[in-house]
Structure 1
């Protein structure tokens, strides 16, 4: 009996230690589950059952139980009855995790959208795509490429895929529950969207990439030497831990912070600018905060991404989500349909020209595709590159927006291609090289 009691005591102690060590993580787990559910239901208009079965069915997050309130437009999650977190939907601003800083009585400003109707065929307008047969395309080969994207569904988990060739929609496919109008969370593809705001301000002559970052608290220390270029290239030298498997800088920012521009602004330097390359979602949200400083009012800031290029190119399904403080979460939270993500790629394939209007300088594309020092040829300025041949059977001039779980917008200038793929698995589970090389083989 004494031995049994000792074993039981040791077991209880072990359980206590496990709970003690993992209890803080519950805040992140339930926060992720609630935020993902609320956005999926109220932004993408998908069913809670589908999100539970698919999007939130990942290690640790699957431990959370989530309830949706359609009237209040909220989702509340908890893990084993502990650590309740609630996310609430705000029209025009997406969802946000509620904390002590959230004021339910406050009237949120929302971006003003301009949606025009036209008779121009997709992707350059709102009319249906042209039913065009391009004789130079090997349709059988293109069909094989799409089959690769959707093959082995339990592993690759592709949801949508689309191919534009010379501005023509030549391939498009969706799994059940998704269609051409379903908004898809871009995750870190949002970084490229946020960076494009800087391209427009540069085009307008309002800033230059070699300007020091305008942050007052940096003026009297070594951070005063950090430029906008350093931030866009993720080579500022600022400390940042981009680890999603634990309580880290990035998980605390995304699931605990009210103002997501604050924590990265307070980070010390661990290297001089350009000495290291360190991928950092905090850096992008810092840039979002700097972007806000360029405007006289919060309303002007909220309107700018849409008026500057999003609505101009007809990405009407796009929604950029904001934090409690009203900053766009440029690191992670924007939604758009697969067709609208392709419009974004086409804007870059066209080097900033859209139906005759130059939205940003053509040289901006050269800038964002120039490899960043110490990134091993994989990163430019808030865009990913194939300059070092990461995808060996794909042209090296490929550049892309990449997001968590395999959200991709690929631009291949030498082949006049824009390729979009979304899903729940990324490279290597989703074989990017096999898919893209098959698409490339279908065109001259």
Structure 2
């Protein structure tokens, strides 16, 4: 009997040590699972079973288990029952991970939204698009190119090809339709960046402005400009690694106010000389945007009135953190068609249905390579200037997100291509090459 007790005590001690040293990791895993489940079920309208079998079914997230409370509109993620995290869905604000002291019953300000226009066809409205047959398109080759990437390995959810403002291909995986909201992950960064282009066009912001935050007043960080932040070239410390306990995973799954994480980081390089991709920087920009408005309501409304609803991306929801700042780095959901509209806005140099939301110069600015990025990055936008995709024009640029979310803009070909899914395995070069070659000039 004593031997059994000793073994049991030793087991409990060992278990306690394992939990203690792995607590941060378990906390992040449970947080990811809870947040993703709440968004998938209550924002995107998928079932818990589908979410667990697909969106959360990858290592190490698949060691978690999830439950939902339909009445409360919440999801709870747990790891072996040792640690639980809760995420709550709030209409207009999306799902948010909460702490035990967060009052989920407290009323929250929400953005004022405009109604979708269901009388005008895509892209300027949300009515069904008009089918157009272009004589210069090899539709057989085009469809064969798209069909080749739809398989179990690639886990593609949607591909949408827009040529001369007309949808020429629209294909969805089983269970998805043109109404399905899909998480853009870091494509959200391009939403955040675009808002700065709009403010610049309105004469309300100077990209060369520095001394941006009180925390930077007494050290060299005061020299960092808005331009440096937009280009991810501030020199601030940041670790963007989704496979470990890193700055980005701690920010997304542990922080109450995600706009404050990057502001507290030290300089480890020189502004304009040290490109470093950072979701913390984009959320810092979201926090800076908040400072441009007199009230929280104005900040919440601006994202929609100035851009999202303005160009008819009415399906889009940008989620907030517990401090009700938009998570501008990662958490925008929208249909494939609405993601395409953002690409079309850039294809048309900021003009939307006769109105300029930003200057043509903004597109040139946003697609100018950041120093030390090897031609890969502009201002919250990815570039092909360095020739990463060798068979694709070098002036192609894109909004890219975790696990292979993309909006590709090809100005010379008058093309916008949307791809969403759960993997980066797709040969993007071959996909884009096939689409381009199917269209004869």
TM range (shorter): over 0.9
Structure 2 contact 88–104 (Cα < 8 Å) conserved: no
TM-score (normalised: structure 1): 0.95
Residues 240-260 of structure 1: per-residue CA shift (max 9 Å, x gap): 111112221111111111110
SS in structure 1 at match of 2:161: strand
Are residues 10 and 376 of structure 1, via their aligned partners in 2, closer, same or farther at CA, if it must alter by over 3 Å? farther
Name 1:207's counterpart in structure 2.
205
SS in structure 1 at match of 2:96: strand
Name 1:222's counterpart in structure 2.
220
Residues 309-364 of structure 1: per-residue CA shift (max 9 Å, x gap): 11111100000000110100001000000010011111110111011000111111
Name 1:411's counterpart in structure 2.
409
Residues 109-148 of structure 1: per-residue CA shift (max 9 Å, x gap): 0000012425332112222111111111111111122112
Name 2:426's counterpart in structure 1.
430
Name 2:146's counterpart in structure 1.
146
Determine the C-alpha separation between the residues in 1 that align with 2:378 and 2:389. Answer: 16
Determine the C-alpha separation between the residues in 1 that align with 2:103 and 2:10. Answer: 45
Name 2:286's counterpart in structure 1.
288
Determine the C-alpha separation between the residues in 2 that align with 1:9 and 1:100. Answer: 30
Structure 2 contact 38–87 (Cα < 8 Å) conserved: yes
Are residues 118 and 330 of structure 1, via their aligned partners in 2, closer, same or farther at CA, if it must alter by over 3 Å? same
Name 1:327's counterpart in structure 2.
325
Structure 2 contact 211–217 (Cα < 8 Å) conserved: no
Structure 2 runs not aligned, ≥5 long: none
Name 1:183's counterpart in structure 2.
181
Residues 165-223 of structure 1: per-residue CA shift (max 9 Å, x gap): 01110000001111001100000000000111101100100012111152112112111
Determine the C-alpha separation between the residues in 1 that align with 2:211 and 2:403. Answer: 31
Determine the C-alpha separation between the residues in 2 that align with 1:74 and 1:412. Answer: 41
Name 1:93's counterpart in structure 2.
93
SS in structure 2 at match of 1:146: helix
Structure 1 contact 159–178 (Cα < 8 Å) conserved: yes
More divergent stretch after superposition (268-277 vs 320-329)? 268-277
Structure 1 runs not aligned, ≥5 long: none
More divergent stretch after superposition (216-225 vs 28-37)? 216-225
Structure 1 contact 101–324 (Cα < 8 Å) conserved: no
Determine the C-alpha separation between the residues in 2 that align with 1:316 and 1:139. Answer: 30
Residues 57-94 of structure 1: per-residue CA shift (max 9 Å, x gap): 01011011100111110000111101110000001000
Determine the C-alpha separation between the residues in 2 that align with 1:63 and 1:389. Answer: 39
Name 2:301's counterpart in structure 1.
303
Residues 23-63 of structure 1: per-residue CA shift (max 9 Å, x gap): 32110000000000000001100111111000000101101
Shift of 1:275: 2.0
1:233 maps onto 2:231 in alignment = yes
Determine the C-alpha separation between the residues in 2 that align with 1:79 and 1:264. Answer: 29
Structure 1 contact 149–161 (Cα < 8 Å) conserved: no
Name 1:59's counterpart in structure 2.
59
Within 5 A, what are the aligned runs for 1:14-25? 18-25=18-25
Determine the C-alpha separation between the residues in 1 that align with 2:405 and 2:94. Answer: 19
Structure 1 contact 186–407 (Cα < 8 Å) conserved: yes
Shift of 1:7: 11
Name 1:104's counterpart in structure 2.
104
Structure 1 contact 157–430 (Cα < 8 Å) conserved: no
Structure 2 contact 116–125 (Cα < 8 Å) conserved: no
